[in-house]
Amino acid sequence: MARISWDLARFTIPVVLLVLLFFSQRYWLRRGRALASRLLSTRARRWARAACTTLLVLFILFIINDISGRHAPLPRSRMLSEIVWLWLSTSMMAFVAIRAVQIVAWLWFRVLPRRARDESGAPVDLGRRRFVQTATIVAGAAPFVGFAYGFLDERWQFRVRRQDLALETLPATLDGLRIAQLSDIHIGSFMPAREVRRAVGMANDLHADLAVVTGDFITGSGDPLEACVAELAQLRAPLGVWGCNGNHEIYAGAEELAAQFFSRYGMKLLRQEGAELTWNGATFNLIGVDYQRERNSDGTKRVTLTEIEPLIQPGKFQVLLSHNPNSFPRAAEMGIDLSLAGHTHGGQVRVEILDVDVSPARFFTPYIEGLFRRPRFAPSTDLNFDLRTGAPRHASQAPSDPSAGSLLYVNRGLGTIAAPVRLGVPPEITLLTLRRSA
């Protein structure tokens, strides 16, 4: 049932977002024109109304230009991109919040009528009416305030996250191996090269043995892919810098070009490939894949990671770089010990409502951010395991040793998409330390 809901969400969410975008912009256009009508001068009212309509049309044209990538008819501006996308995302959230308050108010007045009468004898509750008016103003203003903070401050708060990974399958000679992970750079309108350089410097300060980058170097075809790779080439690790493609490299048609740039700058982008690496006298198998689509073009479900079955080396410790965390159940089924992913941005915006974390990523994956476990070789269709511990959900199942399971780590990424905002999900640079569990 959960799987069906995720598949349905992938289809319906884009449609819902487009509908919300249309009605939210219509709402704010009407509000702007209503505000303009309060001007004393007739000429000023006309100019103000025309300005509201013109601004909305320009926003639409700019969005079309921005998503056209390399075929954009007009020059692209990072500042204008941030302003336009920030407005669209914030105004849509404010519209939803206002409508939610209005729906609650309607139910409140219908279900809990309190019969106070004004001078004309009409039923009215002035206290509740003032409360609803205040709540509507607060609901409409909160997204603007929150998103302004996420835009100006939190999206630049790069955080180093240190995580020990306990694995019974880890050879004793690999105990202490340190991996630095970056993901979801999205260089371009919302992520300048200087910020990528700062993140790379922070990663180098961790003195990791191996550096990996798990996809989404760019957002669209017009973004400076080579500039991103050039900055990533400054990563320093004795075992080298390795990477895999993400879904945005597919959208931009840049998968092969990314591999060429990686090679030109002395790194390796693994595309359905494996490499044997040696550390402390022990070898382990590093595998990388392009973004793993979960559906065929006709909508039927696709089995992920089928192309890497010949790359599995039984008896050796296996590490997989796969941008899509939803490939994890299949990786665990194949006996891969550790999967490293990104893609989710940790939801990018996360708020807590009644002790429940609300994140957009929950509609697409159960693997939002952080560490997850599954029993090794368990069928990928078996969902009866706790995602965090790998323990069985039902007492009738055979107990499993979590340290003997497969691990997935999902990096929150550096960049943003759609809205240039992060709230409750700061950008992440990860240091993973492998530990052998007794």
pLDDT in tens, 325-334: 999 999 999 9
* H or E element, residue 66: helix 42-67
| pLDDT: which is higher, 425 or 222 | 425
DSSP state string for 214-233 = ES--BSSTTS-HHHHHHHHT
Taking 50 as the threshold, does the pLDDT of residue 166 lie above it? yes
| pLDDT: which is higher, 112 or 436 | 436
The band of 79, judged by pLDDT with boundaries at 50, 70 and 90, is: low
The band of 16, judged by pLDDT with boundaries at 50, 70 and 90, is: confident
**Cross-strand partners of 285:** 276, 318
Taking 70 as the threshold, does the pLDDT of residue 394 lie above it? no
Tens-digit pLDDT profile for residues 184-234: 999 987 899 999 999 999 999 999 999 999 999 999 888 999 999 999 999
Taking 80 as the threshold, does the pLDDT of residue 6 lie above it? no
Q: For residue 394, what are the CA distances in angstroms to 26, 259, 266, 380, 386? A: 50, 45, 49, 17, 10
- How many Å apart are CA 305 and CA 312, to the nearest integer? 11
Taking 60 as the threshold, does the pLDDT of residue 398 lie above it? no
Taking 50 as the threshold, does the pLDDT of residue 275 lie above it? yes
Name the pTM for this structure. 0.81
DSSP state string for 287-347 = EE-S---SB-TTS-B--TTGGGGGG--TTSEEEEE-S-GGGHHHHHHTT-SEEEE-SSGGG
Cβ within 8 Å of residue 28, ≥6 positions away: 91, 95
Of 109-118, 134-143, 221-230, 399-408, which gets the smallest average pLDDT?
Answer: 109-118
Taking 70 as the threshold, does the pLDDT of residue 408 lie above it? yes
Buried b (16+ CB within 10 A) or exposed e, 223-247: bebebbbbbbbebebebbbbbbbbb
What average pLDDT does range 367-395 have in this prediction?
84
Type of residue at 378? A
Most confident of 115-124, 393-402, 412-421: 412-421
Contact 3, 383 (CB under 8 A): yes
Share of the chain above pLDDT 90, in %: 46
> Residue 349 burial by CB count (10 A; 0-12/13-18/19+): exposed, middle or buried?
buried
Cβ within 8 Å of residue 33, ≥6 positions away: 48, 49, 52, 53
Q: What is the mean pLDDT of the chain?
A: 84
- How many Å apart are CA 269 and CA 215, to the nearest integer? 10
Taking 70 as the threshold, does the pLDDT of residue 39 lie above it? no
Domains of the chain by start residue, with CATH: 2-152 (no CATH), 160-436 (3.60.21.10)
Tens-digit pLDDT profile for residues 239-254: 999 999 999 999 999 9
> Residue 213 burial by CB count (10 A; 0-12/13-18/19+): exposed, middle or buried?
buried
